[in-house]
Amino acid sequence: MSRPVRFNIHPKQPDIHDNIALAEMPDGLNGEGYFATNLEKVVALGRKNSLWPLPFATSCCGIEFMATAAANYDLARFGAERMAFTPRQCDLLMVMGTIAKKMAPIVKEVYLQMAEPRWVMAVGACASSGGIFDTYSVLQGIDQVVPVDVYVPGCPPRPEAILDGFMRIQDLVGKESLRRRNSEHYKALMGSYDIQ
């Protein structure tokens, strides 16, 4: 007959920022405990701390992103060290730099190839609003072709700003309901971009 597996945990107060709370075990188990939570919090915790970014860099904001991923700022501290340039394996699209109108269908196609759930971060003034390039050939914000979750201001933004935007994405991912993607509001939003 096998015994149930228990975690050996030093007694302490759970952190208020933890998604998993330590539950008390009955007397006689001396320092052993178990975790009490729900599936939604566990999934959110896993997603939040293992985002796989797809950098879509076209100009100077891409250089700032390279600095963010390098040793001084180290994006890997947040569980995002696996940069992938294949959309089917990524869940965070980071668009950095000027997007020409000819490039807009490509950005949308890359977004559609990503697996759900997926998030988008517009890094810098050009990706957010067209920046200083208010011309016939430049897309005035990628939110015209894909839904954007977080905007990072700056021209170009410093690596600290990109890290702040990434942490805001993590907060969003950690609090997002598993049922959000099936909601009528979300389906209407995708329909407004002609995305099914």
Read off the tokens for 102.
């000819």
Q: Is 90 annotated as a binding residue?
A: no
pLDDT tens profile 76-111:
888 887 888 889 989 999 999 999 999 999 999 999
Q: Over the stretch 102-147, which tens digit does the pLDDT of each residue have?
A: 999 999 999 999 988 899 999 999 999 988 898 999 999 999 999 9
CA–CA separation, 79 and 153 (whole Å): 23
Q: Find out whether 61 is annotated in a ligand binding site.
A: yes
Q: Is 126 marked within a binding site? A: yes
Domain ranges of the chain: 53-170
60 annotated to bind ligand:
yes
User: Crossing angle for the helix pair 159-175 and 39-48, nearest 10 degrees?
Assistant: 160
The predicted-structure confidence for 165-180, as pLDDT tens digits, reads as follows 999 999 999 888 877 7
**Fold held by 53-170:** Rossmann fold (3.40.50)
What does the alpha-carbon distance between residue 123 and residue 7 come to, in Å, rounded to a whole number? 42
Residue 97's nearest CA partner among 149, 147, 192, 162 is: 162
Peptide bond between residue 117 and the one before it cis (omega within 30 degrees of 0) = yes
Which amino acid would we find at residue 192? S
